Structure 1
Amino acid sequence: MQDEVQNRYRDELGAALPAERFRAEVTAGMLRTVQDALAQGAWVSTTADRFAAVCAEQGRILAGVADAAYEELTDRYAREPVTVPVTDRRARFQG
């Protein structure tokens, strides 16, 4: 009987990394389209100016959160061993 087997939890984390990076990039750009439209005059008023400022701030917050989530996932992946004891719960992980 094998003492060590593939760490399935680590494998799942690794498989999730590309999608999480994409999600971070999409999140960062979500409000950029709105800001671009406003900058090109799609809506001109003091309310539009305030709305644009809020969109810019929320965009920065969302980008920071998305980047932090990706970094956490990457760090967790790096900390996981490639193999684990056959009795370890990570050997049987199903995401």
Structure 2
Amino acid sequence: MKTRPKKTIIGTAKCTCCGRDIPVKQSETGTLDLSCQWCELPLYAKAGTEAHRTMMARVKRHADPDPDPVEPVHTPPVETKPAARAARSAFDILSGRV
């Protein structure tokens, strides 16, 4: 089964059609995806092409993530008790079980 490459958002750029800011995604292979969700204009550029260089020049990159992020606090899972008796449903009424 073929899997899709994972995409990460690297910044934003203006849509060439409607002018709104849209997220710029980059796949593991380096392909850029600038698909506008408002006017539905799909823009893609493979790594190493002139289109890729042009689109990257327009991208406003996000700030680099912290090199030492704070670890989230781990909370233990809450144990749930089993039901005291079986729940009744519409199927019990229809089958005659009560």
Whose strand proportion is higher, 1 or 2?
2
TM-score tier by shorter-chain length is: under 0.3
TM-score, normalisation: structure 1: 0.23
Whose helix proportion is higher, 1 or 2?
1
**Higher RCO (CA-CA < 8 Å; seq separation 6+):** 1
